[in-house]
Structure 1
Amino acid sequence: MLTPRPAQPREPLALRRRSTAPAWVPVAWRLLLALGLISIALAVHWFDRDGLRDNVDGAISFVDVLYFTMITVTTVGYGDIVPVTPQARLFDTFVVTPIRLFVWLIFLGTAYDFLLRRVWDRLRMRLIQQNLHDHVVVAGHGDAGQEAARELIRRGMPVEQIVVIDQHAAALEPAEKVGAAVMEADATHNATLEAAQLDRARAMIVAAGRDDTSILIVLTARRIAPDVPISVVIRADENEPLARQAGANTVINPASFAGLLLASSTQGRHVADCLADLANIHGQVALCERVVTAAEVGHPLDAISTGKALRLYRGVRSYGFWDTEARQLQPNDRIVEVIRPQRHD
C-alpha cells in the first residue's frame, strides 16, 4: 500500500536568472576595481609627496610617486623611496596595506576563476568518469526526473552511481545536494553523453519535459550506447511510436498510467492500490525482472521458487504463465515475477 511521504522543509523562494553578459565583463570589472584602488593610493601619494623621501636623488617627481605606489601596492617596497612623515606612514599602514590585500585577492580570484578552477574541474571530472561503471544517467531533472532519481535512491542504488544532466543549474541543485554527479549541459549533444560515460551505464532515464527533446536525446543516446536500456517519458500518445523507433526500450506516458489507475479503481477499490503497491518500493510486494537460472531451465514458469512469475519474455515475444510456451523455460529467457521487496531504510 502507499505510504505517506514525510513532509519536506520549505525553503524560501528565490528568483534566479542566468547572466547574459559576455565572459570578459567580470574580468573588466575586476580590472577596473584594481585600477580604482591603485588610483586612490596614487592620488594621495601625489598630493602628500612632501611626506616621501627619495634616497637616490632627493627629489620626488610624478614618476617617483607612480613607481612608489605600484611597488608599495604589489610588494612591501625596496627602501629607495620611503614615507617619512607621520601622516604618510599612517596612510601606508591603514590604507595602502588593505589596498594591497584587495588587489592581490582580485588577481588571485581572477586567476582561480579562469585557470585554476578549470584545471580543478577537469581533474575532478576525470576522477568521476573513471569511477563511473554500471551507473544510471538521468537526462532531465524536472518533476519526473527528480522523482525517478529519488526512487532509485530509495531502492538502494548508491547516489554516487547516479548522473544527472540538465541545462538549468537550478534543476541540478537537489541532485548535487544529495551527492549525485551532475552536469549542466545539453543531453542532445554527443559530447555530453560521452562525458557521462553512457556506454558504460546500466540504464538511462530520459525526462526532458518535451517530447521532441526527449526523442532527440534517445536518438543521440542510442547512437552512443546501442545496448544500454533507455526509458523515456512521453506525454503525447502519438509520440510513443516515435520514441520506440528512436530506440527507447520503455516508453512511459504519465497521463495513460494515471488513467489506468483511475479506471482500475472503478473495478474494485483495492485494484488501484495493488497496482500502485507493485510500483512502490515501500509496498508489500514488488516486481522484479531477471534472467532464468540454469537450474530453472526446462521447468515451467509457474514452478519457480523465488516469487510468483507473471510473464515470460523470449526474444521479442512475451507469454503469460498460462501460455503453452511457458511450460518449459529456455536459456536466456527473461521473467517478470512478484517478490517480497528488499527494504532500504
Structure 2
Amino acid sequence: MIRRLTASDRLTDRPDHSLVGVIRIPEGTVSPVTAIVRRVIGAVLALVAAVVIVYIDRDGYRDVNGDGLSLLDAIYYATVSLSTTGYGDITPWSPSARLVNVLVITPLRVLFLIVLVGTTLAVLTERSRQAFKIQVWRKKVRDHVVVVGFGTKGRSAVSAVLTDGMKPGQIVIVDTDQNSLDAASALGLVTVHGSGTRSDVLRVAGVDRARAVVVAANRDDSAVLITLTAREMAPKAQIVSAVREAENVHLLRQSGADSVVVSSETAGRLLGMATHTPNVVDMVEDLITPDSGLAIAERDVEPDEVGGSPRHMSEIVLGVVRGKKLYRVDSVEADAIEEGDRLLYVRKVTPPAENEETS
C-alpha cells in the first residue's frame, strides 16, 4: 500500500527551524579541545571576577569566627557561591556587600552555570543558529547552482564551477548519502539532504531561483525525473544532465535538459582512442580539466570583432554560439561574427601558484 505524503512529510510545508539537519549552511568548525578550553577559560574568568569583587569589599563580609576575610576566604566564598553550594559560613552583612551579591555575584553565578552546562546549551545554540542561517539563506539565495548527486560526476562538476569563479556558498548539493554531504559541507558548499526526485526537496534547494541545475544522478531514470521536475520549476534555468546510455539522451532532451553528457560512451571512446592515440586523449583531458594547461571557454564578442571571421582570430576559436545554437567554426553560418554572438575558444589557464610567483 502506497502512503500519501502528508503536510509534515513535504519539506516545503515545514517551518525553517524544522529544516535543521536537512539543509546545512557551511560554517567554521571548532575542535572539541578548543571548545572545552574556551569554556574552562570562561569559568575561570567568572570565578576570578567574583574573587576580586568580594576581596575588594571584604570588610562587608563576616565568617563564623567573626573576623575579616583573607584572600583565601574570598576565593573560597566565590567558589561555593558560584557553584550554588553556599555553606553559610561566610555571609555578606553590609548593605554594599549584599547589593553586590544581588547585582554582580548572582549574574556571575548564572554565567558560571551556563558554562557548566555548556554542552547542552551549545547544541541548542547550534540549532538556533542553523535555523536562523537557513531562514536568511532561503530568503536571499538567487542565481546559484544546484548539483543533484555528489558522486564522481557531481564532484567534478563542482570543481569546474568553482574554477570558473563561483563562490562555494552559491553551490547547493542535493544528495541522500550523508558521507557525500559531509564531504560537500567540508568544501563550504550548502547541502540539502533528500532525494532529487522529490519536488519538495528541489524546491527547498531553491531550484526555482537557480541559475543552473546539474543533474548527476547514478541512474538514467532518476536523471529523467529530476530533469523533468527541475524544468517545471525553473523554466529559464540552464539544466545540464548526465546520462549513462546514449539511447536515453532524447528522453533527457524531451524532459527539458539544455545539455546532455553521455558519461559511459564518452569514457568508452576515450578508452578506445587511448589504445592507438594516447596523446589525443591527453590533450582532450587537458582541455576538459579547468585547473591548468588549456581549457575550452566561452566569451562575448568584442565590438571590433563584429563582421570578422572567427577563423582569422589570434585565439583558437572552435565555434560560434548564436542565439541558443552552436555553429562549428567551419560552418557557413560562422563565416562572419555577428553582434550578440558568443565564441567558444581555447584559452591558457595559469595555475594559482604561478600567478602568485608572477605577482
Q: Which moved more, 1:186-195 or 1:215-224?
A: 186-195
TM-score relative to the length of structure 1: 0.62
Alignment of 1:307-322 (within 5 A): 307-315=315-323, 317-322=325-330
Go from structure 1 to structure 2 and tell me whether the alpha carbon gap of 1:208 and 1:289 turns closer, same or farther (over 3 Å shift). Answer: same
Letter in 2 for 1:139: V
Letter in 1 for 2:328: G
Shift of 1:230: 1.2
- 3-state SS of 1:338 partner: strand
Shift of 1:342: 4.4
Establish whether residue 331 from structure 1 lines up as the match of residue 339 from structure 2: yes
Work out the CA distance in 2 between the residues paired with 1:317 and 1:142. 30
Q: Which residue among 265, 269, 276 is the counterpart of 2:274?
A: 265
Q: What is the CA RMSD across the aligned residues, in angstroms?
A: 3.0
Work out the CA distance in 2 between the residues paired with 1:195 and 1:301. 43
Work out the CA distance in 2 between the residues paired with 1:116 and 1:197. 26
Letter in 2 for 1:163: V
Q: Which residue among 229, 234, 251 is the counterpart of 2:243?
A: 234
Letter in 2 for 1:319: Y
Paired position in structure 2 for 1:6: none
Shift of 1:136: 1.6
Paired position in structure 1 for 2:286: 277
Work out the CA distance in 2 between the residues paired with 1:331 and 1:189. 41
Work out the CA distance in 2 between the residues paired with 1:239 and 1:322. 29
| 8 Å CA contact retained: 1:154, 1:344 | no
- 3-state SS of 2:293 partner: coil
Paired position in structure 2 for 1:300: 309
Establish whether residue 135 from structure 1 lines up as the match of residue 144 from structure 2: yes
Work out the CA distance in 1 between the residues paired with 2:308 and 2:237. 30
Go from structure 1 to structure 2 and tell me whether the alpha carbon gap of 1:126 and 1:304 turns closer, same or farther (over 3 Å shift). Answer: farther
- How many percent of aligned residue pairs carry the same amino acid? 33
| 8 Å CA contact retained: 2:169, 2:190 | yes
Q: Which residue among 203, 214, 219 is the counterpart of 1:205?
A: 214
Go from structure 1 to structure 2 and tell me whether the alpha carbon gap of 1:116 and 1:269 turns closer, same or farther (over 3 Å shift). Answer: closer
Establish whether residue 126 from structure 1 lines up as the match of residue 141 from structure 2: no
Go from structure 1 to structure 2 and tell me whether the alpha carbon gap of 1:126 and 1:277 turns closer, same or farther (over 3 Å shift). Answer: same
Shift of 1:185: 1.9
Go from structure 1 to structure 2 and tell me whether the alpha carbon gap of 1:156 and 1:317 turns closer, same or farther (over 3 Å shift). Answer: closer
Paired position in structure 2 for 1:182: 191
Deviations for 1:265-305, whole angstroms, at most 9, x for unmatched residues? 34533111111110012342110123323332211112344
Go from structure 1 to structure 2 and tell me whether the alpha carbon gap of 1:192 and 1:304 turns closer, same or farther (over 3 Å shift). Answer: farther
Work out the CA distance in 2 between the residues paired with 1:233 and 1:196. 19
Shift of 1:153: 3.0
Deviations for 1:156-211, whole angstroms, at most 9, x for unmatched residues? 43212211111222220101112111111222233322322224333221112111
Work out the CA distance in 2 between the residues paired with 1:284 and 1:184. 36
| 8 Å CA contact retained: 1:156, 1:344 | no
Alignment of 1:152-231 (within 5 A): 152-231=161-240
- 3-state SS of 2:349 partner: coil
| 8 Å CA contact retained: 2:169, 2:188 | yes
| 8 Å CA contact retained: 1:218, 1:246 | yes
Q: Which moved more, 1:153-162 or 1:234-243?
A: 153-162
Go from structure 1 to structure 2 and tell me whether the alpha carbon gap of 1:176 and 1:318 turns closer, same or farther (over 3 Å shift). Answer: closer
Shift of 1:120: 4.1
Q: Which residue among 348, 352, 358 is the counterpart of 1:340?
A: 348
TM-score relative to the length of structure 2: 0.60
- 3-state SS of 1:340 partner: strand
Go from structure 1 to structure 2 and tell me whether the alpha carbon gap of 1:150 and 1:133 turns closer, same or farther (over 3 Å shift). Answer: same
| 8 Å CA contact retained: 1:264, 1:271 | yes
- Structure 1 residue runs of 5 or longer lacking an equivalent are 1-74, 77-100
Aligned residues: 243
Go from structure 1 to structure 2 and tell me whether the alpha carbon gap of 1:192 and 1:237 turns closer, same or farther (over 3 Å shift). Answer: same
Alignment of 1:71-90 (within 5 A): none
Shift of 1:225: 1.1
Paired position in structure 2 for 1:52: none
| 8 Å CA contact retained: 1:155, 1:344 | no
Go from structure 1 to structure 2 and tell me whether the alpha carbon gap of 1:265 and 1:223 turns closer, same or farther (over 3 Å shift). Answer: same
Work out the CA distance in 1 between the residues paired with 2:226 and 2:272. 32
Shift of 1:249: 1.4
